Amino acid sequence: MGSQVQSECEPAKRSPLLNVIAEVLCMVFDLVKVLSISIPLLTLSVVKILVPSKLKNVRGQTVLITGAGNGLGKAMALEFANRGSNLVIVDVDLEAAERTCAELRRERSVAAHAFRVDVSSYEQVEALVDNVYKNVGPVDVLINNAGVVGFNFLQDADEANINRMIDVNVKSVIWMTKHFLKRMIERKRGHIVSISSLAGIHPLPWATVYSTSKHAVNGFMGALTEQLRLQGHADEIRTSCVNPYYISTRKDITDFLKKPRFGILTTEYTAKCIVEGVLRNEATITVPRFFGLGVKFMQLFPTRVQQVIRDYILREYELNSA
């Protein structure tokens, strides 16, 4: 009898058709809700493109940049110094880091500290964090800039170079971010920037492993941004992922790119665009800006159409032709 009472109390099961209708109605309701929230946000985004937001003040704040002994890292250090920031220059080449610091002190009159660190080493990064916080102070802006470039097809890349590229381009970004993020969360303040590449959103056939490593950086920064939002830290700790076009930072890059369809960027121009994007709290920074829009537009098409664009618009097959 107890079994009979229990069966009488159980709610009647809905038919499969009713379940489908209920799911569809829920999805329609959710879609309407998304549209009602998204339209104002899209409008605001367009306004920000047409009327850029005000740059935040970083005077007196400490900016740490990896791989800043030369090239883009050094150029970004000079840009931040122009805005009154103090710098921590991290590089595997201590002499280059110290030269950058000497120039910053002499020409920009800011505090600058040099540290020799292999950022692909978990232990060295861990020691760096303690050293910086003990001898310099809290870091307000972390810029993961150190990277290794390699132009070759996969079958031509040797194991040592592949491992080094993954260690420096991917692991170092994770190690640096992991250790400094904890301190930033404690302070409820910070900005984490990672220098990726246009090859991180647009696969580059001439650099299979390099492009893979930069896609990893974009994925990591995207996941980190969402993690901070879910944990309630999005308003305290900002993130920026930077995707620049080819930059004239090294001779091997300019030697390889014999016929680029678009002009190679200067380090000074790229650094200025990056710093301004960071100071506007932009989550994604593409240099030049319209390249990012072009890649997103291109990805709307089927693969074969994208290949036609590569052949006739980007002319990637001509990049390394004499």
Per-residue pLDDT in tens (0 to 9) along the chain, 322 residues: 455 544 455 555 667 778 878 888 888 888 888 888 888 877 776 776 667 778 999 999 999 999 999 999 999 999 999 999 999 999 999 999 999 999 999 999 999 999 999 999 999 999 999 999 999 999 999 999 999 988 888 999 899 999 999 999 999 999 999 999 999 999 999 999 999 999 899 988 889 999 999 999 999 999 999 999 999 999 999 999 999 988 877 666 666 655 566 678 899 999 999 999 999 999 999 998 888 888 888 888 898 988 888 888 777 665 554 4
The reply to whether 243 falls in a domain is yes
Q: Tell me the CATH number at 273.
A: 3.40.50.720
The reply to whether 38 falls in a domain is no
pLDDT at res. 322: 46
The reply to whether 40 falls in a domain is no
pLDDT at res. 261: 62
Which listed residue (122, 133, 210, 245) is catalytic?
210
Task: Check if 246 is active-site.
Answer: no
Q: Give me the long-range contacts of 247-253 (CB less than 8 A, separation at least 24).
A: 247/71, 247/72, 249/70, 249/71, 249/72, 250/71, 250/149, 252/149, 252/151, 253/149, 253/151
The reply to whether 141 falls in a domain is yes
How far is Cα 208 from Cα 152, in angstroms, rounded to an integer? 7
pLDDT at res. 12: 56
Domain count of the chain?
Answer: 1
Task: Render the burial of 44-62: b for 16+ CB within 10 Å, e for the rest.
Answer: eeeeeeeeeeeeeebeebb
Domain that holds residue 129: 59-318
The reply to whether 9 falls in a domain is no
Omega within 30 of 0 (cis) for the link into 52: no
The reply to whether 39 falls in a domain is no
The reply to whether 190 falls in a domain is yes
How far is Cα 309 from Cα 229, in angstroms, rounded to an integer? 36
How far is Cα 27 from Cα 22, in angstroms, rounded to an integer? 9
